[in-house]
């Protein structure tokens, strides 16, 4: 049976990415060797790194003066690398969920943290609007898409003249962004790009080198800028897979075209939820709703049917829709590689289940 993969992360990848990765594990670049057993310094792998870097720049229209890095350690290591490299005295953070909270915890190791606003009072089911970013901070950090709660900030917040840093782990490549507004953008690969193991960081070169503390070599962005992400052995296979996804995105027509489809997928599912008597979206304000992670629950009078719905969906090949334990209910992740056909399957499944009860 065809599977409809709604997992939140690691999550669905394009068949193009998976097939080409499988092929390269057997025979990479006609070397007669697996990509798993060759030097990262070979000219064949250097070509992969160069092309992946160029395609990130092309797809996201990264301006001059920025470096694209492929790092290890996940987005979670960026929670610490960002303040290590950027926080001299004080930084501002917007708290919109678990990932923001974790980023704030790390920043506090390095200096003072001003939490400009938080949506914790309502279990992070909205985006705080009324906040001002103090202008005496080293940077302002926020999470663009809150994977767990299904909220998303699709418009760049106004940070005045303060450096802007964003965790875009779960919505990078799903919408057009103006990179020039940012000093650092980072994203773990396993939501919209590649298997787990590599993290993209896009850094403004002249934003680095302004803190006075010594930085361990591996945690210093400048090391990786200088060595083109080859200071040490990079995560070779995830980078190869990332390149396949980037090529696939380019074939689709780039981010603009991808964004149109992503918006249409999310609109279809939210409409189904909003017009249903059984389901309700956990994020009430439409403007705050994530295009990538659609969170919904059973209305109280149907709450006991939650498990039955997941079981019913499983019989239709629908997997990965159980909500995060902090929210409950259901979460359908609609990452770029998920086809409209899978959204249609979920919508049909919800309607059929509803008419059965």
Residues with catalytic function: 99, 167, 191
Residue with the CB atom nearest ligand PLP in the bound state: 74
Nearer to ligand PLP, 170 or 276 (CB): 170
CA-nearest of 103, 46, 56 to 80 is: 103
CB of 179 to ligand PLP, least distance (A): 18
Residue 55, token pair as written in the block: 């395609």
Of 170 and 342, which has the nearer Cβ to ligand PLP?
170
- CB of residue 97 vs ligand PLP: minimum separation in angstroms? 8
Closer CB to ligand PLP, 17 or 290, in the complex: 290
Cβ 327 to ligand PLP shortest distance, Å: 14
| Residue 218 CB burial class (10 angstroms; 0-12, 13-18, ≥19) | middle
Alpha-carbon dihedral angle through residues 269, 273, 274, 280, given to the nearest 10 degrees = -140
Q: List the structure tokens of 285.
A: 């304000």
CA 293 to chain centroid:
10
Nearer to ligand PLP, 84 or 99 (CB): 99
Minimum distance from residue 155 beta carbon to ligand PLP (Å): 17
> Which residues contribute to the site for ligand PLP (CB under 6 A)?
9, 74-76, 99, 143, 147, 167, 169-170, 188, 191
Q: Quick check: helix, strand or coil at residue 333?
A: strand
Q: Identify which of residues 169 and 336 has a Cβ nearer to ligand PLP in the complex.
A: 169
Instruction: For Cα atoms 176, 83, 107, give the angle at the middle one, nearest 5 degrees.
Output: 105
Contacts of 86 (CB under 8 A, 6+ apart): 138, 139, 163, 165, 183, 184, 207, 210, 211
Comparing CA positions, the residue from 150, 118, 156, 185 lying closest to residue 288 is: 150
How many whole angstroms from its chain centre is CA 279?
26
CB of 148 to ligand PLP, least distance (A): 8
Least distance from ligand PLP to the Cβ atom of residue 188, Å = 3
- Residues forming a β-bridge with 215: none
Identify which of residues 194 and 278 has a Cβ nearer to ligand PLP in the complex. Answer: 194
Q: Which two tokens stand for residue 352?
A: 């059929």
CA nearest to 296, candidates 272, 318, 313, 319: 272
Between the alpha carbon of residue 265 and those of residues 117, 176, 291, the distances in Å are 30, 17, 8
273: enclosing H helix or E strand: helix 255-274
Report the 10 Å Cβ neighbour count for 99.
Answer: 22
Backbone torsions φ then ψ of 323, nearest 5 degrees: -70, 160
């Amino acid at each position: 049976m065809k599977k409809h993969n709604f997992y939140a992360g690691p999550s669905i990848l394009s068949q193009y990415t998976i097939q080409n990765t499988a092929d390269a594990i057997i025979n990479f670049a006609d070397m007669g060797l697996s990509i798993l057993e060759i030097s990262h310094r070979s000219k064949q792998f250097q070509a992969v790194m160069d092309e992946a870097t160029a395609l990130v720049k092309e797809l996201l229209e990264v301006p001059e003066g920025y470096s694209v890095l492929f790092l290890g350690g996940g987005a979670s290591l960026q929670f610490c690398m960002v303040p290590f490299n950027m926080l001299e005295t004080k930084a501002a953070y917007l708290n919109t969920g678990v990932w923001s909270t974790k980023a704030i915890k790390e920043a506090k190791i390095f200096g003072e943290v001003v939490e400009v606003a938080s949506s914790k009072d309502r279990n992070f089911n909205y985006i705080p609007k009324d906040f001002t970013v103090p202008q005496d901070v080293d940077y302002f950090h926020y999470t663009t898409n809150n994977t767990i709660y299904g909220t998303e900030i699709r418009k760049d917040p106004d940070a005045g003249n303060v450096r802007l840093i964003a965790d875009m782990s779960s919505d990078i490549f799903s919408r057009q962004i103006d990179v020039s507004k940012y000093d650092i953008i980072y994203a773990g690969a396993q939501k919209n790009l590649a298997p787990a193991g590599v993290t993209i960081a896009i850094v403004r070169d002249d934003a680095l080198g302004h803190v006075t503390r010594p930085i361990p070599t591996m945690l210093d962005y400048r090391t990786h800028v200088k060595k083109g992400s080859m200071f040490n052995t990079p995560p070779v296979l995830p980078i190869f897979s990332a390149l396949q996804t980037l090529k696939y995105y380019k074939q689709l027509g780039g981010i603009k075209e991808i964004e149109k489809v992503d918006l249409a997928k999310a609109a279809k599912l939210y409409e189904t939820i909003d017009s249903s008597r059984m389901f309700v979206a956990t994020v009430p304000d439409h403007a705050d709703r994530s295009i990538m992670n659609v969170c919904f629950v059973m209305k109280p009078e149907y709450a006991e049917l939650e498990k039955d719905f997941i079981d019913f969906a499983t019989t239709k090949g629908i997997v990965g829709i159980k909500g995060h334990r902090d929210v409950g209910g259901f979460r359908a992740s609609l990452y770029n590689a998920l086809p409209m056909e899978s959204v249609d399957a979920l919508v049909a499944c919800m309607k059929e289940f509803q008419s059965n009860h």
